[in-house]
Amino acid sequence: MKSFKNKIPACLVHFLTGSGIIFSFMALVSVIEGYKLQTFMFLGIALIIDIIDGTLARKYETEIVFPNIDGKTLDTIIDYINYIFIPCIMLYKFDYLPLNFTIVIPIVILCISLYSYINLKLIDTSFSYIGFPSIWNVIVLYLEILSFDKLINLLIILFFIFLKFFPFKVIHPMRFPKFKKANITLLFGTLLTSTILLINKFEFTFMSEVYLYVLISWLIFNSYFIFFVIFSNLNLLKFYRK
């Protein structure tokens, strides 16, 4: 039996995961008040929590220490809110889509994502997600940074809705030990450059001289993860799996 002292880290991990709902609420309030930057920032904090809490949960054996607490369900509830529900509200509130699609598209995303979340075969034994992994918070972020026309935004979203039903695999980049450090570095590089681009767009235009370099870096970071998915689907990384 684990001692009380040994249970503290596992307990803190569960609290860390649960804290994501606080940032869900703050992001939702920001949407209602019409503050785009704050919305993205709160969702970004929730994303960082989601990136690190799984590794911590495995390290401190939360399932063994607290067998009656289902950390996966807790994580799934918060993920649905932060990755799907709030981004759908943003698509409606922040005018990303043509007028005739502002309600229809969010409803479609909410419904197909809801049923994909309860699909027991959605994640295979290699921790690969089958089809587009419903990271709509990331898609909305990219639409904001790239500032496409509303019709282009609609076509992009329809493309990713189609990918929900396409049987390709998206392998979790943190599940490859050999690439884990590089993936974490590049992931946080993506978050950092995304933050800089958002701040520059909404608050300050202080980086006119370096904006192009930040944008290029952001594109490189994102391209890496796209190629990561492509190559993993071609089985080029199979020998690195545990």
Which domain covers residue 119, as residue numbers?
4-171
Vertex 219: Cα angle to 161 and 79 (nearest 5): 45
As a whole number, mean pLDDT of residues 98-123 equals 88
Q: Is the same domain home to 179 and 89? A: no
Write the pLDDT tens digit of every residue in 183-230.
888 888 999 999 989 888 876 666 667 888 899 999 999 998 888 777
116, 139, 171 - which closes a domain: 171
With beta carbons less than 8 A apart as the criterion, state whether 102 and 91 touch. Answer: yes
230 and 177 inside one domain: yes
Banded pLDDT at 4 (limits 50, 70, 90): low
Higher pLDDT, 174 or 112: 112
| 160 and 235 belong to one structural domain | no
Same domain membership, residue 202 and residue 167: no
134-146 burial code (b ≥16 CB/10 A, e <16): bbbbbbbbebbbe
- Mean pLDDT of all residues in the chain? 85
Query: Whole-model pTM?
Result: 0.86
Are 166 and 183 in the same domain?
Answer: no
Question: What confidence tens digit (pLDDT) does each residue in 50-59 have?
Answer: 888 887 888 8
Last residue of a domain, one of 130, 151, 171: 171
211 with 148, same domain?
no
Same domain, 121 and 27: yes
Grade residue 238 by pLDDT with cuts at 50, 70 and 90.
low
Same domain, 76 and 147: yes
The C-alpha atoms of residue 168 and residue 233 are separated, in whole angstroms, by 7
Q: Are residues 27 and 126 in the same domain?
A: yes
The pLDDT score that the predictor gives to residue 86 is 97
Q: CB count, 10 Å around CB of 74?
A: 18
Residues 144, 225 share a domain: no
Q: Pick the more confident residue, 170 or 165.
A: 165
- How many structural domains are present in the chain? 2
Domain match, 27 and 132 both: yes
pLDDT recorded at residue 239: 43
**Do residue 156 and residue 193 come from a single domain?**
no
Q: What pLDDT, in 10s, does the model give residues 69-104?
A: 888 888 889 999 999 999 999 999 999 999 999 999
